[in-house]
Structure 1
Amino acid sequence: MKDFPSIPTAPRALPLLGHVVPLLRDPLAFLNSLPALGELVRVRLGPMSMIVICDPELTRRALLDDRVFDKGGPLYDRLREVIGDGVVSCPHQAHRRLRRLSQPAFHQARLPDYARAMTSCVRETADSWSPGQVLDVPAEMMTTSSRIITATLFSDALPSTAHGRLTDDVTTVVKSLYQRMFLIPPLDRLPTRGNRAHVAARARLHGTVERIIAERRADGADYGDLLSALVAAHDPEDDRPGMSGAEITDTVVSFVLAGIESTAATLSSALDLVARHPEVEQRLHAEVDAALGGAPATHADLPRLPLTERVITETLRLRPPGWFFTRVVTADTHLGGHLLPAGTSVAYSPYLIHHRPDLYPDPEAFSPDRWAAPHPQPPRHAFLPFAAGARKCIGDSFSMIEATLALATIAARWRLEHVPGHRGRLAAAVTLELRDLQMRARPRTATPAPAVPAPEGKP
């Protein structure tokens, strides 16, 4: 058994800063360089250090043992400033109860109703475009995903002005969180423009959510949305009442942040990748024409959209919105033959795992059919867009349905072409997102026909 100091340290650490510069300048390339150093690699963040898990099996072990590898570390320390201790970010000791209370909101029986709201919101977006219009795709997808989360969480309880402010506040908070992870106190409290904007947006976001929750609890009606399910929830294994007001607020803010930003990033990348691969685009259009005939996609259409779902799955592999997460070790433990003392910060990266050539042949290629039979499937622990174990994303099915319906509905109506000079660039913040992606909307006419089969060995 090796001791803690024997874990190799990533090269090119700077005095005082450690590895902050490569983690800010090109974090994806930096992460992908780490597996060559070992299964566990030490990375320095100023005076602090964390251990990056580079091996998929060790990552799986850490995710399954959520008591020892608890939510914490540099990222979650910052996230808790925004989302508190809801079901997404709470410590292990509180998680099981909050998970039981939140789970009914995502019961399979509720998904068709949520899907109707999703379809309506995506149709509103598709109807708003005009032939030849140049679209700011990330902004369009942010608007769409925020409409969906508002409709499914709050039953459209927000007026348009409040809805716009909610979206702006989410954008401000999310875009500053990654940088704040590297701010050592008291730098995070200095009255800089960025710090002031972050704190103000965070306060407005909580104020908006708290007002809606107070109105809903006073009303007492069940609107069939996520918030109604959370307010009405009672733990079948506990005589205590359901969630407190603070727990509901923290959980709802968590859902707002994840539901808007992650889905928008996934859809922006999917539209970009499809346009870059004409053969996939042709087959996608053939599938949606045959399944939808030009109509918006509904929950009932999902079984007829297998390629659309594979496009979303491959997008989540190639560009997972949640690309980097941290945990904290709560008791002395062993991982990869090394002793990790209690209090150690560890990190894992779905992006790193998803781009390993030993797990995914030609990992940089966009190949939706790698997920189709008879292609051999990667190990379950090698695909982590929603994490794994007891802390797996509670809204994974919700998110997959949302993204699949949105992509199918857009593809049925429009063909999007890249605008020269604005073909998008990946930016790694709290989410992995595209920036400066502009595409021109070309109308399509549905041509019902059997889906075009994939040529042997082609994507």
Structure 2
Amino acid sequence: MRPIVVTFNTGTEPVTGSRRRRPNFFRRRPLDFLASLPAHGDLVKIKLGPVPFYALCAPDLVHQVLLDDRTFDKGGAIFELVRIVGGNGLATCPHADHRRQRRLLQPAFHRDRLPAYARVMSSEITAMLQNWTEGQKLDVLVTVNELTAGLATRTLFAADLDDATFAELRLCMHDVMTGMIRRMLLPWPLLNRLPTPGNRRFDQARRRLRQYVAQLTADYRHSGVDHGDLLSILLAVRDENGQGLTDAEIHDQVFTFYLGGSETTAPLLSGSLYLLGRNPDIRERLHNEVDTVLAGRIAEYDDLPYLDLTRRVLMETLRLYPPGWLFTRVTTKDVELAGHRLPAGSNVVYSPHIVQHRADLFPDPECYDPDRWHDDRPRLPRGVFTPFGSGARKCIGEVFALTEATLALASIVARWQLDPLPGAHARLAPRLSSTPRSLPMSLRERVSVLV
């Protein structure tokens, strides 16, 4: 199929069957714009100003691109901005560095490590729920972000950190993340070098974070103790030549893991709670499951096999609201895609939001239906469901993130019913990940029917 050229200059929207343009469509409603592209073809050429991008709208093309990471290497505006801030970690490094990094870091996410991580997760979830009260109104997005940030920090650094150090680490991470997102959204890079309060705060936080990670790395090296955390593993791994990670590489991986943990699990968990509030029939079924499995207690690692509906609720949230909303690749050589020749250096863009909202692949795609994910349903074609990517560059922390989200969701709904307040809506605000701007909800305490 010939790719359809959609001439799109920043601030305008092409209208099918008309030469009119509506202003600011991509900037106001980027996800709606992306979801409209399959109507134009399987491969759609978009021109954002002078720069052409080739958008993948068919699952077989998504699979082809993700499978061949040598030809379609990580690159483009999004990854370059993250690299400037976060360095050359596993999620952003080019193909040439990826195999070594992946082999070195794989032990950190081996299934044998998950029970220990799960104990930390259950502990942090318990601490969060102890602060909730009947009738309380809270912004679920903020609350869940605090939970996942704490979990990411505790699993990275399990040594006995005092409360002040732990709080400072979280603040540094928060300020670095906020500054990075701001840089991604600013169209004028020169503004990032001005001595504004935001830029100074970002630069100071980045320096403090490097100092903290360097000091913790030195302390861990000196003690020689395996604390069962990610930093201990990063210090222990060796490649085939007996070489470990440098301090700079350890910093980049720490930032990468924190970024992945906070920017994936938080929107997944908060989105699931919101959608359950909007679908009381599904929520009631989920209450029945957690009452049977947990009887009001906090979920633990051994409960995971019995929380099937919980898993399906999360999968459907990932389909409807994939946290990673836009990814770019750059061709390293001339290549044929959808029967067309793309020259080396071409920008290819894909979004799980495009394919996962296609009505021919997911009937009634805007309907929230966890039963789509029953094990007895037909297997989906490759490239259809890619919230964690695919191929060699598939997210190394997929099981970690789903474990965390499952334990947290089951524990929350076992004890509390969350109802959306006026103003809570699912309008996503794409930043580094796609999340709502806020999700105000009220709390009602539950009593398990089996207690």
Stretches of structure 1 that go unaligned for 5 or more consecutive residues are: 450-459
Cα deviations by residue, 1:316-338 (Å, 9 ceiling, x for unpaired):
11111111111111111111112
Structure 1 counterpart SS, 2:309 = helix
Cα deviations by residue, 1:178-230 (Å, 9 ceiling, x for unpaired):
56346354354344555444444444443333332232222221011111111
Give the number of equivalent residue pairs.
442
| Contact 1:13 1:19 (C-alpha < 8 Å) held by counterparts | no
Give 1:453's aligned residue.
none
Distance (whole Å) between structure 1 residues aligned to residue 436 and residue 157 of structure 2: 28
Distance (whole Å) between structure 1 residues aligned to residue 54 and residue 11 of structure 2: 17
Distance (whole Å) between structure 2 residues aligned to residue 394 and residue 91 of structure 1: 16
Moved more, 427-436 or 73-82: 427-436
Q: How does 1:55-454 map to 2 (within 5 A)?
A: 55-155=58-158, 157-175=160-178, 177=180, 180-181=183-184, 183-192=187-196, 194-235=198-239, 238-423=240-425, 425-448=427-450
1:138 Cα deviation from its structure 2 partner: 1.1
Distance 1:413 1:141, change over 3 A: same
Q: How does 1:45-56 map to 2 (within 5 A)?
A: 45-56=48-59
| Contact 1:423 1:437 (C-alpha < 8 Å) held by counterparts | yes
Distance 1:250 1:300, change over 3 A: same
Distance (whole Å) between structure 2 residues aligned to residue 156 and residue 221 of structure 1: 9
Distance 1:197 1:28, change over 3 A: farther
Cα deviations by residue, 1:358-393 (Å, 9 ceiling, x for unpaired):
111111111111001433342242111110000000
1:417 Cα deviation from its structure 2 partner: 1.3
Structure 1 counterpart SS, 2:32 = helix
1:240 Cα deviation from its structure 2 partner: 3.7
Report the residue type matching 1:85 in the other structure: N
1:8 paired residue among 5, 8, 11: 5
Distance (whole Å) between structure 1 residues aligned to residue 45 and residue 170 of structure 2: 36
1:70 Cα deviation from its structure 2 partner: 0.8
Structure 1 counterpart SS, 2:5 = coil
2:32 paired residue among 26, 29, 33: 29
Report the residue type matching 1:212 in the other structure: L
Report the residue type matching 1:269 in the other structure: G
Distance (whole Å) between structure 1 residues aligned to residue 216 and residue 156 of structure 2: 10
1:42 Cα deviation from its structure 2 partner: 2.6
1:43 Cα deviation from its structure 2 partner: 2.8
Distance 1:202 1:38, change over 3 A: farther
Distance 1:290 1:14, change over 3 A: closer
| Contact 1:23 1:30 (C-alpha < 8 Å) held by counterparts | yes
Distance (whole Å) between structure 2 residues aligned to residue 340 and residue 188 of structure 1: 33
Report the residue type matching 2:117 in the other structure: Y
Give 1:452's aligned residue.
none
Distance 1:323 1:345, change over 3 A: same
Distance 1:19 1:174, change over 3 A: farther
Stretches of structure 2 that go unaligned for 5 or more consecutive residues are: 13-20
Distance 1:19 1:69, change over 3 A: farther
Distance (whole Å) between structure 1 residues aligned to residue 281 and residue 114 of structure 2: 32
| Contact 1:171 1:261 (C-alpha < 8 Å) held by counterparts | no
Distance 1:19 1:260, change over 3 A: farther
Cα deviations by residue, 1:212-268 (Å, 9 ceiling, x for unpaired):
223222222101111111110112xx2141111111110110001111222111111
Distance 1:255 1:346, change over 3 A: same
1:438 Cα deviation from its structure 2 partner: 1.2
Distance (whole Å) between structure 2 residues aligned to residue 19 and residue 215 of structure 1: 58
Give 1:40's aligned residue.
43
Distance 1:40 1:202, change over 3 A: farther
Distance (whole Å) between structure 1 residues aligned to residue 426 and residue 54 of structure 2: 32
| Contact 1:308 1:404 (C-alpha < 8 Å) held by counterparts | yes
Moved more, 172-181 or 399-408: 172-181
1:45 Cα deviation from its structure 2 partner: 3.8
Distance (whole Å) between structure 1 residues aligned to residue 201 and residue 28 of structure 2: 22
Distance (whole Å) between structure 2 residues aligned to residue 160 and residue 20 of structure 1: 49
Report the residue type matching 2:115 in the other structure: P
Give 1:455's aligned residue.
none
TM-score, normalised via structure 1 length: 0.90
Distance (whole Å) between structure 1 residues aligned to residue 181 and residue 157 of structure 2: 28
1:405 Cα deviation from its structure 2 partner: 0.4
Distance (whole Å) between structure 1 residues aligned to residue 22 and residue 193 of structure 2: 22
Distance 1:52 1:188, change over 3 A: farther
Distance (whole Å) between structure 1 residues aligned to residue 91 and residue 428 of structure 2: 25
Distance (whole Å) between structure 1 residues aligned to residue 200 and residue 250 of structure 2: 26
Report the residue type matching 2:262 in the other structure: I
| Contact 1:76 1:89 (C-alpha < 8 Å) held by counterparts | yes
| Contact 1:284 1:307 (C-alpha < 8 Å) held by counterparts | yes
| Contact 2:263 2:432 (C-alpha < 8 Å) held by counterparts | no
| Contact 1:19 1:45 (C-alpha < 8 Å) held by counterparts | no
Structure 2 counterpart SS, 1:415 = strand
Cα deviations by residue, 1:102-151 (Å, 9 ceiling, x for unpaired):
00011111111111111111111111111111112111111111121122
Structure 1 counterpart SS, 2:439 = strand
The alignment yields a C-alpha RMSD, in angstroms, of: 2.4
Distance (whole Å) between structure 2 residues aligned to residue 439 and residue 201 of structure 1: 32
Distance (whole Å) between structure 2 residues aligned to residue 248 and residue 288 of structure 1: 39
The percentage of counterpart residues that share the same residue type is 47
Distance (whole Å) between structure 2 residues aligned to residue 20 and residue 244 of structure 1: 49
Distance (whole Å) between structure 1 residues aligned to residue 392 and residue 403 of structure 2: 21
